[in-house]
Amino acid sequence: MGVPVQGAAPGVASRHQSRLLTLLRDEGPLSRVELGERLELPRARLATELGRLAEVRLVESGGPAASRGGRRSTLVELATDLRFLAVDVGATSIGVAVTDARCEVLAHQSQECDVRQGPTTVLDRVAALAEQVMAEVPGRLVAAGVGLPGPVSFREGMPVAPPIMPGWDRFPVRDRLAGRWGCPVAVDNDVNVMALGERHAGVARSLDDLVFVKVGTGIGCGILLGGRVYRGVAGTAGDIGHIRLDDYGPACACGEVGCLEAYFGGAALARDALTLARSGRSAHLAEVLARQGTLTARDVGVAAASGDFASINLVREGGRRLGHVVASLVSFINPGMVVIGGGVALLGHQLLAEVRSSVYRRSMPLATGNLPIVLSELGDLAGVVGASWLATEHAFAVHRG
Amino acid sequence: MGVPVQGAAPGVASRHQSRLLTLLRDEGPLSRVELGERLELPRARLATELGRLAEVRLVESGGPAASRGGRRSTLVELATDLRFLAVDVGATSIGVAVTDARCEVLAHQSQECDVRQGPTTVLDRVAALAEQVMAEVPGRLVAAGVGLPGPVSFREGMPVAPPIMPGWDRFPVRDRLAGRWGCPVAVDNDVNVMALGERHAGVARSLDDLVFVKVGTGIGCGILLGGRVYRGVAGTAGDIGHIRLDDYGPACACGEVGCLEAYFGGAALARDALTLARSGRSAHLAEVLARQGTLTARDVGVAAASGDFASINLVREGGRRLGHVVASLVSFINPGMVVIGGGVALLGHQLLAEVRSSVYRRSMPLATGNLPIVLSELGDLAGVVGASWLATEHAFAVHRG
């Protein structure tokens, strides 16, 4: 029953403290001299602020720093026993990680879980999994971050009208989990979280303006502008999965027709794979279907990688459609990088080639000249790394009262 | 020869002064009590800052304020003789206005002018027009703002690879005009400038997140996020005119094919109007062609308004294409308002109806639920009001050195 990670609610009392913690998270141990320089803080003031952070055991001394001539300075680092819970709820799986304060994953477990089971069942399973993972790496739990596969009201910490999450509409995810774990919880859309993960520790390190396109069961994108998640007026910015490509296209889970997701989401790929297998156009998929009794988007990826012509075509056609949407997005936003991730990123380099070709052909040279379009570096871990980052961001902010 | 408006280079020395000037520009005369409250400045500090601004004659006393009980406060306003030059260079016209410090247009003149004549000729004509307009309303010239119909490097104050402005690539517009007028000059893309105009004094007053779509000779959009122009990594954000709709579509001035602009820009509409007139599908346009010897986008608008079926169809088809692009844009950015302006906005309510129908049908309800899609309120003046705002923004900022 006992959660081995103890809840702590350390107080970050000033903007200086908040900036110190953020700097130590993003850059690792730094000497007192370096910290003073970076924050332009006089030595006495720095000592006071660090003293307060040490009192609440958020930072600790890390031994002598490398000499830069003159007196040796002392290294400061984030307390090594701080723990953050990072939860990645997908359409068909849940993942839970425990990280340190630098968002390094110390333990991680995931399991299949259908989000359509509803919030009570899914969050119970998340909590059970979290208990197991926390047992692996004891420490002081500070905060938790959660990514959900649908639109989220960040301010209220709950999903709002999520198309593929029946029963979750306005369910108070943040407050339920905060009550259970006794620590602050931040909840966001999974694509925003994955974008933050790639920016903190993945392929987009230190980039301020980027777009993370997730192709999984759903399709969506997270937009970072100036290093921050851009959400739009109603929180729906980046919702590209339901851009309508054709007024007479296939039906979508959202209730409309012809959405990008209805062509190239996980369910659409599985549907098209079944057609290919049953119609005899793909002997490869027919064989897999006979063996498994069912087909998934993953099977299409494997078949395409092994040279199955019909599967390659499916990936290409989907990539072309996705590419058209990404090309528009590049024209609008003119980002510094496009990262493609999510389960269907399995489709890998064939998908990437198709998207690149669409974007480079369809957007203005000035917008694409220095634009890398790349696959996620963190892969399955993008969600939990980003969720951990979200949790640290919340914990290291100054809160009133 | 003499320019009746004298160049002044008043110094804004502190952030407080900058905020005072901005507040007086956006809200008009305010009492000293109100200014102190709004800026949370103690009375003595406010008096010092206002004293300095009065010394350089940026503000002046405007008589007693309305009583709120207790001692009467004095009104403060921006000096009434401050003048800002606002220049709107279009593809086929130039407009110059002189405004006061609140971006109110005091005098305005425009004339036809083909931007393809190149920067030397066009800027000479702008300067000649500016001299005439300034002669109408004497005062102290503080700064100038300029909108250009193509991509601009805001930092360098020059156009960069503009598709419809031959000879302008990297021409130092800002520095040439600043040298001529002896005042600071700010240069930006016309759509960004028009978006700022609508936000300051038009239909989008006080909205922070909005998209201004200009349909004229070119098609583009200005994106304001958090009240500021969002430019993207290479300054091309909002460049929707060259989104490719069809790999085998009509040729575009940019050298590519199938761009939105090649279907629905001013030149495309004139081209299609000619076809309709010559093929006998529009008796109305054929008659106008016989009378004028040529046809423009404006003629299509007039014909459509008078019920010409072929012209109405042209507007509808263009509006549908524009609507698809705007729908994607709404899905990505989730703005608080979409404003449609530029010459083709003449096409008015038929165009608006078509765009609205596309967006409301194709974007997610959460993004469109409270989304007004409206015509520009400032019309032809959006460019100069925005250019004046750009000029005041530059003049009221604190500059180093």
Do the beta carbons of residue A242 and residue A221 sit within 8 Å?
Answer: no
Tell me how far CA of residue A26 lies from CA of A103, A206, B217, B270, in angstroms: 9, 10, 48, 56
Q: Which fold has domain B205-376?
A: Nucleotidyltransferase; domain 5 (3.30.420)
Give the best residue of B152, B169, B236 to mutate against chain A (max A CB count within 10 A): B236
Q: Which residues in chain A are contacts of B332 at CB distance < 8 A? A: 221, 223, 237-238, 240, 328-329, 332-333
Among chain B residues, the shortest Cα distance to A362 is held by: B244
Measured in angstroms, the CA of B151 and the nearest CA of chain A are apart by 10
Give the best residue of B224, B332, B359 to mutate against chain A (max A CB count within 10 A): B332
pLDDT at A115 over 80: yes
Which residue do the tokens 């004094």 mark?
A: B201
User: What integer pLDDT is reported at residue B1 of this predicted model?
Assistant: 33
Do the beta carbons of residue B362 and residue B324 sit within 8 Å?
Answer: yes
Alpha helices in A137-237 (DSSP H): 173-181, 190-201
| Tokens read off for A302 | 């494997």
Among chain A residues, the shortest Cα distance to B259 is held by: A362
Q: What is the dihedral of CA A77, A80, A82, A83, to 10 degrees?
A: 120
User: What integer pLDDT is reported at residue A7 of this predicted model?
Assistant: 40
User: What would the CATH number be for the domain defined by A6-78?
Assistant: 1.10.10.10
Q: Which residues in chain B are contacts of A335 at CB distance < 8 A? A: 232-233
| Tokens read off for A90 | 């997908």
ipTM > 0.85 (yes/no): no
Q: Measured between alpha carbons, how far is B361 from A238 in angstroms, rounded to an integer?
A: 18
Mean pLDDT of A272-278: 95
User: What integer pLDDT is reported at residue A346 of this predicted model?
Assistant: 65
Check CB contact under 8 Å for A335 and B367: no
Give the best residue of B245, B333, B337 to mutate against chain A (max A CB count within 10 A): B333
Q: What is the pLDDT of residues A155-182, one digit of tens each?
A: 899 998 888 899 999 999 999 999 999 9
User: What integer pLDDT is reported at residue B69 of this predicted model?
Assistant: 67
Q: Which residues in chain A are contacts of B191 at CB distance < 8 A? A: none
Measured in angstroms, the CA of A245 and the nearest CA of chain B are apart by 9
User: What integer pLDDT is reported at residue A44 of this predicted model?
Assistant: 92
A82-198+381-395 CATH choice from 3.30.420.40, 3.60.21.10, 3.40.50.300, 2.60.40.650: 3.30.420.40
Measured in angstroms, the CA of A172 and the nearest CA of chain B are apart by 19
Mean pLDDT of A36-64: 91
- Mean pLDDT (chain A) is 90
Angle (deg, nearest 10), helices A119-136 and A173-181: 40
Name residues of chain B where pLDDT drops below 50: 1-9, 401
Q: What angle do CA A7, A10, A12 make, to 5 degrees?
A: 150
Q: Nearest by CB to A243, which of B160, B244, B362?
A: B362
Q: What is the pLDDT of residues A366-381, one digit of tens each?
A: 777 778 999 999 988 9
Please spell the DSSP secondary structure of B159-211, one letter per residue.
E-S-TT-TT-TT--HHHHHHHHHTS-EEEEEHHHHHHHHHHHHSTTTT-SSEE
CATH 3.30.420.40 for domain B83-198+381-395, yes or no, is yes
Domain ranges, ordered by start, for chain B: 6-78, 83-198+381-395, 205-376
Asked if domains B83-198+381-395 and B205-376 share a fold, the reply is: yes
DSSP lists the bridge partners of residue B171 as: none
Check CB contact under 8 Å for A363 and B329: no
Check CB contact under 8 Å for A333 and B244: no
Do the beta carbons of residue B106 and residue B137 sit within 8 Å?
Answer: yes
Q: Nearest by CB to B234, which of A240, A325, A367?
A: A367
| Backbone dihedral angles phi then psi of residue B348, each to the nearest 5 degrees | 60, -130
Measured in angstroms, the CA of A106 and the nearest CA of chain B are apart by 35
- C-alpha closest to that of A340 among A371, A304, A361, A384: A371
Burial class (CB in 10 A: 0-12, 13-18, 19+), A71: exposed
Q: Nearest by CB to B367, which of A236, A325, A364?
A: A236
Mean pLDDT of A25-50: 92
Higher per-residue pLDDT: B220 or A62: B220
Q: What is the pLDDT of residues B244-281, one digit of tens each?
A: 888 889 998 888 888 999 999 888 999 999 999 999 99
Mean pLDDT of A264-279: 93
Do the beta carbons of residue B215 and residue B354 sit within 8 Å?
Answer: no
Within 13 Å of residue B277, how many CA atoms lie on the same side as its CB? 22
Which chain B residues touch A if contact means CB-CB below 8 Å?
151, 160-161, 209, 221, 223, 225, 230-240, 242-244, 247, 254, 325, 327-329, 331-336, 361-367, 369-370
Q: Which residues in chain B are contacts of A363 at CB distance < 8 A? A: 242-243
H/E element, A128: helix A119-136
Do the beta carbons of residue A145 and residue A196 sit within 8 Å?
Answer: no
State how beta strands A210-215 and A337-341 pair.
parallel
